[in-house]
Amino acid sequence: MSLTMATEAPYFELPGVDGRDHSLDDYVEIPVLAIVWSCNHCPYVQGWEARMKAIQRDYGDRGFRLVAISSNDAASHPADSFDEMKARAESQDFNFDYLYDEDQSVARRYGPERTPEVFLFDADRRLVYHGAIDDNRDEDAVGQHYLRDAIEALLEGREPPARETPPVGCTVKWKQ
């Protein structure tokens, strides 16, 4: 079951594709933090990756960070192994942290069902938005920019206009 609105972000400490470990505490100075469940193999994720990079680029110097986490079982989906994650981050020139939740313990605490799926936290690390990045997998057909609108609102001291939207994407690949 996913986190409910206003819940505090569960702690995590996970290895990143950059060779470092990253914990929730590393982002304590960041006012607006998006944790996005992601992976390599999913066409929905791949379709949204450029938008994830653009959001990090557009808001990174205004107090925002995007952190992607993959919890997928690499035994059933080898394209989602840690080595493949490192390769994809390099080939796609990711400008955000990409972390590997190999034992899926962090995913069990947050409760994502899809990739990509956004959990957006305010400066107190309370959940303020959960769901999709925007309303269309086709970048040219996007009408509602849920995540961008929520980030803008938080940075301006307002409530996000949407609190929950249905994430669209591949299922998280749980270990059997």
Partner 1 sequence: MTVEFLYWEGCPSYPEARELLEEVLRGRGVDVPIQVREVRTQEEARELGFPGSPTIRVDGRDVDPGGESEPPSLSCRIYHLPNGRVSPVPTREQIEEALR
Q: Where do contacts with partner 1 occur on this chain (CB under 8 A)?
A: 41-44, 46-47, 76-78, 137-139, 168-171, 173
Contact criterion met (CB below 8 Å) for 150 and 120: yes
- Which tokens in the block code for residue 11? 């702690």
**In terms of CB distance, is 33 or 165 closer to partner 1?**
165
Closest distance between partner 1 and the C-beta of residue 153, in Å? 28
Closest CB 80 distance from partner 1, rounded Å: 10
Choose between 2 and 136: whose C-beta lies nearer to partner 1. Answer: 136
Q: Which residue lies nearer to partner 1 by CB, 30 or 168?
A: 168
Quote the distance between the C-alpha of residue 33 and its chain's center: 9
CB 7 within 8 Å of CB 74: no
CA separation for the pair 37, 95 (Å, rounded): 16
Q: How far is the CB of 154 from partner 1 (least distance, A)?
A: 29
Task: Give 80 or 122: the residue with its C-beta nearer to partner 1.
Answer: 80
Strand spans (E) along 101-171:
114-115, 117-121, 127-131, 170-171
